[in-house]
A and B are shown apart, each in its own frame.
Chain A
C-alpha cells in the first residue's frame, strides 16, 4: 500500500519515462523475444510452427556456416593483434608534442576518418587501392614492384580490412589514452629529467605504467565485441571474388536472411552469435571488475 501511494505521488516520473519505455519495448525487447523464431519455422500466413533445434543442427553441419565462423574469428583476431597496439603507440608519440598548433593539427586530422561512414571509406579505399593508379600501387611501382588488385585478391583482402580499420580508428582511439596521460602529474617528468632520463625512458617508466588500467579496460571491451568483426566494413568492401574469405557472421545472416528470405535459419545464426557475444561481454565485464575495478558499464 505504501509503495502504491509513493508510485501515485511520483506519477509524473512514470509519465516522463513512458515514451522511452514504449520505444525500448517495441524496438528492442519485442525483436529480442521474437528471436524465438530460431526454434520455429517461419510461415508467411498464419502462426509459425515449432521446429526445435532443427535450424541449429543444420547450422552446425553446414560447411558454409563453419567457414563464416572461422572467418569471423580470424578477422577479429587479426584486428586485435595488429590494430590494438597502434593507438597506444600513437598516444605516446602525440604526448611528446608540445601543446600548440602542430599538436592540434595532428590530433584534428587523426580523428577525422572516425566521422566518415563506411560507405565513404569504402569509396576512398577502392580508389586508394586501384590497380591502375591508386596511391598504394603508385608507391609499389616506384619501388619496381608489380601492381596488385587488392580488392579482388583473396590473399590480401583481410589485410585491407585490417589497414582500413586502422586508418579509420587508430587516431580516434587515442582519445582515452591521451586522457589518461594528461592526468599524470608533470612533476614526475620534471624529476625524471633532473635524473637525466631520456624521452624513451620517460615513456617506458612514467607514461606507459599510467596507461595500463585504460589499456586493459579497452582491450577487454574489444574482446566483448569479438563476434562482430566489423559488419559495416565488410559489407561495403565485399565483392564476389573475395566473399569466401571475408564473409563473417553478420554478413552471412544478412545474405541468407534478408536476401534469401530464410528468416528462421538466419535468426538461429544471429542467436548463436548473440549468445556467444553475451558470454564474452559478461565474462570480460567481471574479469575487468576484478583486475581494474572498472567494468564495461
Chain B
C-alpha cells in the first residue's frame, strides 16, 4: 500500500531544487553557446533555452587552429597517459598484492610515505627542467605515471581473486609474468575499466602541470587554452581563427558566448563517458573507500 507522505514530498522537492542548482548553470552555458550572438544578451542567467539558434560560436572556435591542436594534444596525452598508467599500476599492484618477496614491507612503507608527503611544486619543476622535459608531452604524462591511491585500490581488487584459480596455472608451470598477463588481467576487466576512467578523467582535466611545464602554445592541452580564454580573459588568443570569416558574422561576436562554447567542448567528452563513469567509477570509489 502506498501512502502519501508530506515529509517524503518535501524531501523530493528539496532534492529537486538541489539538482536544479547543479543543472541550471550547466544548461545556461550550453544555451549561451547555441544562442544567436545578436540575441544572446536577452538570455537571462537562469535561462536554459538558447535565444535564437546558431552554430556560429562553434564555427569560430573550431576554426581556431589553437583549439584543434589543443584537442588533439589532450586526446594524445589522455590516451597515452592512461595506457601507461594502467600498465604500470597493474604490474606494480600485482607484485605487491599477490606475491611475497624480500623487501616487500619496505616497499609498502615507502609507498605510504609517498602518499602522505608530497614533493614541492618547485622541486618538481626544477626536476623536469634538469631532465630536459620542459615543453614535452612526456612531462605531463610521466608526472603522475602511478597514483598511489589508485595503486592501493587496484591491489584490493587483485587480492580478492581466489587463490584456487591462480594455483592451477602455477602447477602447470606458469611464471609470475604469465599469471599476471593471462589470468589476473583478464579477470580484472571491471577493475581495470574503473582505473582507466579514474586516470582518463585525471588526464583530461589536468591543466596545472601543463601550465607550468609547457610554455609552447602549440603543445597546450585544451584545459590550458580554456583557462587562457576564461580565467585569463585572453580574447586575442580566442580570435585566432577568424581571419577570412564572413564579416557580417564577425559583427556580432560575443566573447562570453565564445567562452561558454569552449567550456562545452571541454565538457562533452566527459558527458559521453558519463554513463560508463556512473557504472564503474562510483562502484570503484565505494570499494576503495570501504576499509575493513
Binding site for B on A (CB under 8 A): 3, 6-7, 10, 12-14, 16-17, 19-21, 23-24, 26-32, 34-35, 37, 90, 93-94, 96-97, 102, 105-106, 108-113, 115-120, 122-128, 130, 133-139, 167, 171, 175-176, 179, 198-200, 231-232, 235-236, 250, 253-254, 257-258, 263, 266-267, 270-271, 274, 277-278, 281-282, 294-297
Set of chain B residues within 8 Å of A16, measured between Cβ atoms:
91-92, 94-95, 176-177, 180
* Most chain B beta-carbon neighbours within 10 Å: one of A28, A106, A232: A28
B117 touching A278 by the CB < 8 A rule?
A: yes
Q: Scan residues 243-289 of chain B and give those whose CB is less than 8 A from a CB of chain A.
A: 256, 259-260, 262-263, 266-267, 270, 274, 277-278, 282, 285-286, 289
A127 touching B32 by the CB < 8 A rule?
A: yes
CB distance from B202 to the nearest CB of A (A): 10
Q: Scan residues 198-242 of chain B and give those whose CB is less than 8 A from a CB of chain A.
A: 201, 204-208, 212, 223, 226-227, 230-231
Query: Digit string of B94-138 for contact with A (CB within 8 Å is 1, else 0)?
Result: 111001011000010011101111111111111100010000000
Set of chain A residues within 8 Å of B94, measured between Cβ atoms:
16
B290 within 8 A of A: yes
B32 touching A267 by the CB < 8 A rule?
A: no
| Cα–Cα, bound, A125→B22 (Å) | 11
Task: Name 6 extra pairs, CB < 8 A, besides A171-B18, A199-B5.
Answer: A31-B123, A32-B123, A109-B23, A135-B45, A199-B8, A258-B125
CB distance from A165 to the nearest CB of B (A): 13
Binding site for A on B (CB under 8 A): 5, 7-8, 11-12, 14-16, 18-19, 21-26, 28-29, 32, 41, 43-46, 88, 91-92, 94-96, 99, 101-102, 107, 110-112, 114-127, 131, 142-143, 145-146, 152, 175-177, 180, 201, 204-208, 212, 223, 226-227, 230-231, 256, 259-260, 262-263, 266-267, 270, 274, 277-278, 282, 285-286, 289-291
CB distance from A249 to the nearest CB of B (A): 11
Q: Which B residue sits closest to A178, measured CB to CB? A: B286
Dominant SS among interface residues on chain A: helix
| Cα–Cα, bound, A111→B230 (Å) | 24
Set of chain B residues within 8 Å of A12, measured between Cβ atoms:
175-177
Question: Could you give 5 example pairs across A and B, Cβ below 8 Å?
Answer: A20-B91, A28-B114, A37-B123, A94-B15, A115-B201
| Cα–Cα, bound, A268→B147 (Å) | 25
B112 touching A117 by the CB < 8 A rule?
A: no
Set of chain A residues within 8 Å of B91, measured between Cβ atoms:
16, 19-20
Instruction: Out of B8, B28, B45, B230, name the residue touching A137 (CB < 8 Å).
Output: B45
CB distance from B241 to the nearest CB of A (A): 19
A176 touching B286 by the CB < 8 A rule?
A: yes
B102 touching A3 by the CB < 8 A rule?
A: yes
A179 touching B46 by the CB < 8 A rule?
A: no
Instruction: Out of A127, A267, A296, name the residue touching B25 (CB < 8 Å).
Output: A127
Q: Which B residue sits closest to A130, measured CB to CB? A: B45
Q: Which A residue sits closest to B14, measured CB to CB? A: A93
| Cα–Cα, bound, A100→B42 (Å) | 38
Instruction: Out of A6, A96, A105, A116, name the residue touching B11 (CB < 8 Å).
Output: A96
